[in-house]
């Protein structure tokens, strides 16, 4: 038979093991939350009254039979931002690297439409946050703004149901973030 001191010692030993297990679990959870994934996001979770709700990052590579033969061709980041008042959404597409290539925006000021063969879209070249850009506006498809960034990078903003000013304001704020990353 065990005496009272042995029982207390066993109970303390079980409690010690239980506390150590909980401590190990807490440390593992903390480490997991502090280590960013390999393709960590650099897009802001919030931008003014806009909130990031979804993001997907795709590494672009040439196809090869073996991974070691694939060439890194860049990255494509797709993100969705929403705001609650007034309700709206903006899709952001950021491409970078040799794979997607660069965006061509004609020099000079252009303001035109696609005539009878398109969706009656209007196009204009402009400057957004000091960068060359082209804006497409259509009653059917909404708005798309493509902006040339430094270093073989292009960012595109697509939206429906928001004003031109709201789209340009969001784009300027996002470009400021992207230029300082």
Per-position DSSP letters for 7-44, written without gaps between them = HHHHHHHHHHHHHHHHHHHHHHHHHHHHSPPTT---S-
Structure tokens at 54: 């979804």
Identify whether the C-beta of residue 126 lies closer than 8 Å to the C-beta of residue 135: yes
Which of helix, strand or coil describes residue 48? Answer: coil
Strands (E), the chain: 46-47, 50-61, 72-83, 88-96, 111-113, 122-128, 131-138, 142-149, 153-159
Judge if pTM exceeds 0.85: no
Query: Tens place of pLDDT for every residue, the chain, 181 residues?
Result: 566 656 566 655 566 555 454 544 544 443 334 434 444 567 999 999 999 999 999 998 877 655 556 688 899 999 999 999 999 999 999 999 988 888 889 888 899 988 777 778 999 999 999 999 999 999 888 999 999 998 889 999 999 989 999 999 999 999 999 988 6
Which residues have a Cβ under 8 Å from the Cβ of 131 and sit 6 or more positions away? Answer: 147, 148, 149, 175
Tokens 């065990």 — which residue?
2
Domain map of the chain by residue range? 1-35, 46-179
Return the closest-CA partner of residue 92 out of 134, 132, 161, 43.
43
pLDDT of residue 61: 84
Which residues have a Cβ under 8 Å from the Cβ of 37 and sit 6 or more positions away? Answer: none
Return the closest-CA partner of residue 135 out of 148, 122, 154, 150.
122
Which of helix, strand or coil describes residue 58? Answer: strand
Identify whether the C-beta of residue 137 lies closer than 8 Å to the C-beta of residue 143: yes
pLDDT of residue 24: 42
């Amino acid at each position: 038979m065990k005496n009272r001191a042995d029982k207390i010692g066993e109970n303390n030993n079980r409690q010690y093991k239980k506390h150590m297990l909980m401590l190990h679990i807490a440390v593992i959870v903390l480490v997991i939350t502090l280590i960013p994934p390999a393709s960590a996001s650099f897009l802001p979770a919030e931008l003014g009254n806009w909130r990031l709700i979804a993001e997907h990052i795709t590494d672009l590579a040439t196809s090869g039979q073996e991974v070691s033969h694939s060439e890194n061709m860049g990255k494509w980041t797709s993100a969705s931002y929403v705001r609650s008042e007034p309700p709206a959404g903006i899709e952001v597409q950021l491409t970078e690297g040799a794979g997607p290539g660069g965006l061509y925006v004609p020099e000079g000021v252009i303001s035109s439409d696609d005539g009878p063969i398109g969706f009656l879209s209007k196009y204009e070249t402009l400057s957004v946050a000091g960068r060359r850009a082209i804006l497409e506006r259509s009653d059917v498809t909404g708005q798309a703004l493509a902006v040339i960034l430094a270093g073989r990078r292009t960012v595109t903003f697509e939206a429906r149901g928001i004003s031109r000013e709201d789209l340009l304001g969001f784009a300027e704020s996002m470009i400021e973030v992207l230029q300082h990353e």
